Structures are given as structure tokens and as C-alpha cells.
A = this chain, B = another copy of it.
Amino acid sequence: MEAKKYKSFRFKNSLAWSSGRRGRTSAPGKREMDIGSPPEFKGEPGVWSPEELFVGALNGCLMLTFVAMARAKGLQFVAYESTAEGLLENVDGKYRITEVSVAPSLVLRSETDLDVARTIMDHVEENCFISNSVTAKVKLAPQFEVGST
């Protein structure tokens, strides 16, 4: 039996230091953005920090995984909003993000969609490329409601 062949993909980033604790970052064809140390570590407010981008990448990946799985199952939904919070802790002398709590809030079109939406959400974390790439514990606490926005 031959193993299924999967493609590999490469994602690039470029970065240039601006001044102080701040730089400009970009990816091919993407809008440049500032990146800097957070105020907690002597950086400036108003600039995305690596920690915030990390939490945002995870929150976004979980949503996009849900979207992809929903499409595959023919589930349409009205709205998806999500808040996430990463905990940066010092463990054995090293700071790392140990835990990310993610609270997606979904609005579905009808009661009959609830089961399939819950089933998809149960499998989102194991299919999310970013949650598969981090050591943090991901705590997913989804909420579902039926209605229109």
C-alpha cells in the first residue's frame, strides 16, 4: 500500500529594522506592516507585536479551518466572530506562550445546522495548521446561536 502523497508549501517573510524596538515586515504581495516589542517589554503601543501576531495567526487559522470544513460539508453560516487570548509565562527561566484561549461565536441559519456546526468545531483544532505547530495548549470554547445579523 502506497502512502498518500502530500504537497509541501513554503511561506516567506521579509523584515527590516526601523529604529528602537520596531521594524517593517512583509510577505510576497502583502501589505507591509510595523512589528515591534509590546509595551510590556519596552516597545510602543499601537504596533503589532510578535506575540499578538502569533495569537492572531492561531485565532485566524482556527476560523479559516472552520470555513474550509463548513464548505466541504455544505454548511453555510451567518457570522463567525472570535476572541482569543494568549498567556505568556516564564517556564524554567524561559518565556513562552503556554496557553491560548479561543472563544468563537457562531451565528447559524437554522436549528438544523447546529449538529453539523458542532461536529466541525470538534475537529477544527486537529486540522488547524497553526495549532499543529505550537506548543501552547489551545482551549477552544465555541458558542452557537441561530439567527440573522
Residue pair B11, A129 in contact (C-beta under 8 Å): no
Q: Please give the distance in Å from A41's CB to the nearest CB on chain B.
A: 7
Q: Which single residue of chain B is at the shortest CB-CB distance from A47? A: B30
Contact between A80 and B134 (Cβ–Cβ < 8 Å)? no
Stretch of A86-94, A111-119, A140-148 contacting B (4+ beta carbons < 8 Å): A86-94
Judging by beta carbons under 8 Å apart, are B25 and A87 in contact?
no
A21 to chain B, nearest CB (A): 6
Separation in Å of the A134 CB from the closest CB of chain B?
A: 6
* A63-80 CB contacts (< 8 Å) to partner B: 63-64, 67-68, 79-80
Known: A53-B60, A68-B42. A14 touches B83 (CB 8 A): yes
| Interchain CB contact under 8 A, B97 and A51 | no
Residues of B contacting A126 with CB < 8 Å? 94
Task: Enumerate chain B residues within 8 angstroms of A20, measured Cβ to Cβ.
Answer: 67
Bound together, the chains give a CA A126 to CA B95 distance in angstroms of: 10
- What are the 10 closest A-B residue pairs judged by CB atoms, nearest first? A6-B90, A96-B132, A50-B61, A17-B80, A53-B57, A35-B60, A50-B57, A27-B52, A97-B133, A9-B88
A-B contact pairs, 22 of them (CB 8 A): A7-B90, A8-B87, A11-B55, A12-B55, A13-B55, A13-B56, A13-B85, A14-B81, A14-B84, A17-B67, A20-B67, A25-B56, A27-B48, A27-B56, A35-B64, A50-B129, A51-B129, A54-B130, A54-B133, A94-B127, A97-B130, A133-B136
